[in-house]
Structure 1
């Protein structure tokens, strides 16, 4: 149970603007075989999506503090993510799994008031898909 909590925490932190790594934790746990793969995928995806929802909330509720030093992203990264989001719309959230770009993108979705239900669906597909791809690669596409 502690390993699942650690995976959840690593995935959650990795999805926020805090630098963290969850892929290695997931692959390591898959390779040890201590838990069913579907459970590990579910826990990692849930943690990662919750971290993205935290970013969405930061964007939605704290945007009026964007000029403060403690704001979780720089004005330049926020402007870049906003341009990307305006160009591609809510489908840009499919890139929420991409390192460096994805986290500010989820924050911008909150700033631009993307509906939470649509945000959650698209981000879950993107982040769950990334973890599924990692697991398939790590396990040799199901070969034993």
Structure 2
């Protein structure tokens, strides 16, 4: 498996509700091929964004299984508060551990608009991967 397909797969799975750390994979691949940093960031961002959109669509499907009362529990409270207060802008935090997956799921459940949701998720994840690269390299100094 090539570095880029490994990065895509790892980033995609890490953005769904499955546990995984795509940042660790990115750092490992950067150590092997530092010159490929831009390709790795692009592929990681695309994979992670598609994984988040999978959670978004699972949220849409979840409307048939979960009532609004079921989402009022403590597990979803912080995510609901963020989305109710900031709307689609809360999805800039879709990269954050624990809350990010819930935000994407809730955004779908709440039927936030698709294109703005996609853009906010994409932007948030791009910034996160660029910060990881900047933290482990000297390219941005």
TM-score, structure 2 as length reference: 0.88
1:76, distance to aligned residue in structure 2 (A): 3.2
Q: Which residue of 2 aligns with 1:118?
A: 116
Secondary structure of the 1:36 match is helix
Q: Which residue of 2 aligns with 1:33?
A: 33
TM-score, structure 1 as length reference: 0.86
Residue 86 to residue 74, structure 1, CA distance change in 2 (3 Å): closer
* Gap runs ≥5 in structure 2: none
1:74, distance to aligned residue in structure 2 (A): 10
* Gap runs ≥5 in structure 1: 68-72
Q: Which residue of 1 aligns with 2:83?
A: 85
Query: What is the root-mean-square deviation in Å for CA atoms of aligned residues?
Result: 2.1
- Which of 102, 110, 129 is residue 127 of structure 2 equivalent to? 129
Q: 2 CA distance for matches of 1:100 and 1:126?
A: 15
Residue 74 to residue 25, structure 1, CA distance change in 2 (3 Å): farther
Q: How many residues align?
A: 138
Secondary structure of the 2:97 match is coil
C-alpha contact 1:31 1:138 (8 A) present in aligned 2: no
Q: 2 CA distance for matches of 1:84 and 1:19?
A: 22
